Amino acid sequence: MADKVLMKGNEAIAEAAICAGCRHYFGYPITPQTEIAAYMAKKMPKIGGCFLQAESEVAAINMVYGVAATGKRVMTSSSSPGISLKAEGLSYMAGADLPALIVNVQRGGPGLGGIQPSQSDYFQATRGGGHGDYRMLVLAPASVQEMASLTVKGFDLADKYRMTAMILADGTMGQMMEPVSLDFPEAEKVEKPWATTGTDMAREHNIVNSLFLQPDELERVNFERYERYAYIEANETMYEEYLMEDAEICVAAFGIASRVAKNAINEARKQGIKVGMIRPITLWPFPVAPFAAAADKVKSFISVELSMGQMIEDIKLATSCKKPVTLCNRAGGIIPSPEQVLEAIQKAAKNGGAE
Amino acid sequence: MAVVFDKPHALVDMPMHYCPGCTHGIIHRLVAEVIDELGIEGRTIGIAPVGCSVMAYDYFACDMIEAAHGRAPAVATGVKRSDPDKHIVFTYQGDGDLASIGMAETVHAAARNENITVIFVNNAIYGMTGGQMAPTSLPGQVTQTSPYGRDTKHCGFPIRVCEMLSELEGPEYLERVTVNSVANIRKAKKAIKKAFQNQIDGKGFSLVEVVSSCPTNWGMTPQAALKWIDDNMLPYYPLGVYKDRSAEEDAK
């Protein structure tokens, strides 16, 4: 096993991206993710890569669009308000079927909001963020190790499916330090015959484009894209189940919320409460199957979120509202405490599952 | 029989969608002739804008990318930085795209002296959407969204892009040309060729502003529109070289 190094979450993302072969980074400063840019600014010139601070998030995502069009691995990172600005580019990249990695180290919103950790961009991320019918792969790390390994995975999936992948982290994940192994599996090489790298006078010109003025043509590319999405839903969903074998109460949480929830679940187990957790690792595709299966076994669900309740809607959809789903949340940059989550679990246990 | 006139190789043999009398066709041809003459088609990537020339990606035979409205210089930056030694990158943008919604991208690409070529077609109107006021519409100019004439007290003054960018330290070369006569078309081609040659030589950001006509949305015949350029556009947008750093340095 390779040695582990102690890293901040944001730095782990940057180093993992370099390991994944990313040599182009474009970004604009915004708290709490600026360490990624700083790391890239230091490293890229030394390894023949390109770090460029763009004039805006809008420009940064369009620089990403340019590199992605040439078939090279490229990324940008930002935090919530900046991601809103990148939404235009995300939609265009979806329309032009371009792969890239986007990192959102979330902070509280809406508007300028705050700079403390949040998960309130769940809707934005899992529904694509910009205009039009499209999806993004959304990966939710719950440790610094996953910040790194899901970054590599994100590049691989983006290339494989010609779409953007987003790391949906939060301020805590970005700032906290944990040991990380930077030993990653070798990715499958993906050919990109569509890339605009110059014809070399050896082929017809390639066109990277999202404009389809004929409605039947635009409908066709949308249908094709959704066939690809259906394949991804069937094959790329990732989640972790924790103590679910005999669980009567199912906690659902991702990212930092799952770390807090795990503490609360361990404490509840000591008190004899049969509680487990499903932790989605891919937020899109959402792990529908384990939630649907759990709905036939457990008495109720508790969604632990750093938002006003966003993932809870996907849980209700995945379980066809078969069992009650309650929300245990904090918002505005505050993380629920293990005690708050434990209390929610105890309440659910007392009510025979329902709150 | 000797061929005396032919379609440039860098233009795809297909009908263009431009209105009769529109000067986009001439400017496309000039860009394509330059690409041919410099022998760079195989390594050139063009960036089309949003606006009348949105479908330029179909017309140029080199690799092409369609950018979001105004973002062509940012996209071009990415393409150039992806392989600076190989890629020759040009953007082809109208006045709404370059000087309104994309002004930040334009200014910063120029300030960085990004080694790209920008073809800026200024016809003082939004053509594709049916003739609205542009950032370069003249004072008093009647458009769909300035039906009583552009009132500078209400919506300010048109922007002279070459003059504005010439204040920056960054850009290598800025020239304004027009294509309303044979003589002017020849001068325009010379400027476009220089703008591409500069990129090949690694000199940096080169922008050629081509003062153009829009007979359809100006509500004129093509001939009258070309005359309107002389009578109305050129007094506000004087032709000439606004910056040529290498020439300035050579002169020192």
Peptide bond into A110 cis (omega under 30): yes
A67–B43 CB contact, under 8 Å = no
> Mean pLDDT across the stretch B59-84?
98
Residue A313's Cβ-count burial label (10 Å; 0-12, 13-18, 19+) is middle
- CB proximity B87 to A under 8 Å: yes
Bridge partners, B177 (sequence order): B210
Count CB atoms within 10 A of the CB of residue A272: 7
Residue A189: the pLDDT is 87
Strand B206-211 to B173-178 pairing: parallel
- Would the CB atoms of A59 and B79 count as touching at under 8 Å? no
B151 and chain A: CB distance < 8 Å anywhere?
Answer: no
CA–CA dist A263, A342 (Å, integer): 9
Which of B44, B47, B55, B82 has the highest number of chain A CBs within 10 A, making it the mutation to test binding with A? Answer: B82
Query: What tens digit of pLDDT does each residue of B202-229 get?
Result: 999 999 999 999 999 999 999 999 999 9
CB proximity B54 to A under 8 Å: yes
> How far does the CA of residue B207 sit from the closest CA of chain A (Å)?
19
How much is the average pLDDT of B142-146?
Answer: 96
Name A101's bridge partners: A75, A165
Q: Is the pLDDT of residue A355 over 50?
A: no
Are A65 and B76 an interchain contact pair (Cβ–Cβ within 8 Å)? no
What mean pLDDT do residues A139-167 have?
A: 98
Mean pLDDT in residue range A248-253: 98
Chain B nearest-CA residue for A51: B81
Alpha-carbon distance A91 to B238, whole Å?
Answer: 39
Best of A28, A205, A214 to disrupt the B interface (most B CBs within 10 Å) is: A205
Locate the domains of chain A by residue range. Answer: 4-235, 240-350
Please count the residue pairs, one from chain A and one from chain B, whose beta carbons lie less than 8 angstroms apart.
135
Q: Which of the listed CATH numbers 3.40.47.10, 3.40.50.300, 2.30.40.10, 3.40.50.970 matches domain B24-251? A: 3.40.50.970
The pLDDT assigned to A351 comes to 82
Q: Report pLDDT for A3.
A: 87
Residue B252: pLDDT band by 50, 70, 90 thresholds?
confident
Smallest CA-to-CA distance from B56 within B12, B21, B102 is with B12
The verdict on A62 touching B (C-beta cutoff 8 Å) is yes
Contact at CB, A198 and B42, closer than 8 angstroms? yes
Report whether pLDDT(A93) > 50: yes
State mean pLDDT over A233-242. Answer: 98
- Site of tokens 């049969």: A274
Mutation pick from B79, B93, B168 vs chain A, by most beta carbons of A within 10 Å, is B79
Distance CA B60, CA B169 (A): 32
Domain A240-350's class? Answer: alpha beta
Q: Using one digit for the tens of pLDDT, what is the confidence trace for A157-167?
A: 999 999 999 99
Chain B residues inside the 8 Å CB shell of A67: 78-79, 81-82
Q: Is the peptide bond before A285 cis (omega within 30 degrees of 0)?
A: yes
pLDDT at A2: 63
Distance from the A50 Cα atom to the nearest Cα atom in chain B, whole angstroms = 7
Mean pLDDT computed over every residue of chain B: 97
Evaluate whether A4-235 and A240-350 have a shared fold.
Answer: yes
The average confidence (pLDDT) of chain A is 96
Express each pLDDT in A23-41 by its tens digit.
Answer: 999 999 999 999 999 999 9
Contact call for B45 and A70, based on CB within 8 A: yes
Determine, for residues A197 and B87 on separate chains, whether the beta-carbon distance falls below 8 Å: yes
Look at A77-86, A182-191, A240-249, A275-284 and tell me which has the smallest mean pLDDT.
A182-191
Show residues of chain B in contact with A212, CB under 8 Å. none
E runs forming strands in chain A: 4-8, 24-27, 50-53, 74-78, 100-106, 137-139, 164-170, 177-181, 207-208, 239-242, 249-252, 275-280, 282-284, 300-305, 325-329
Q: Is the pLDDT of residue A1 over 70?
A: no
CA gap B24, B213 in Å, rounded: 9
- For the question of an ipTM over 0.90, the answer is yes
Q: What is the pTM of this model?
A: 0.97
Interchain CB contact of B78 with A (< 8 Å): yes
**Does the structure show a pLDDT above 70 at B40?**
yes
Instruction: Report whether pLDDT(A354) > 60.
Output: no
Q: Is A49 on the interface with B (CB under 8 A)?
A: no
Residue B85 pLDDT greater than 50, yes or no: yes
Confidence grade of residue B1 (pLDDT, cut at 50, 70, 90): confident
Determine the Cα–Cα distance for residues A102 and A106; give it in Å rounded to an integer. 12
Inter-chain touch A62–B43, beta carbons under 8 Å: no
What fold characterizes domain A4-235? Rossmann fold (3.40.50)
Put simply, the answer to whether A67 touches B82 (Cβ < 8 Å) is: yes
Q: Which of A24, A59, A205 sits opposite B62 (nearest CB)?
A: A205
pLDDT for A353: 54
User: Within 10 Å of residue A331's Cβ, how many Cβ atoms?
Assistant: 16
**Inter-residue contact B199 to B205 (CB < 8 Å):** no
Distance, CA of A16 to CA of A36 (rounded, Å): 11
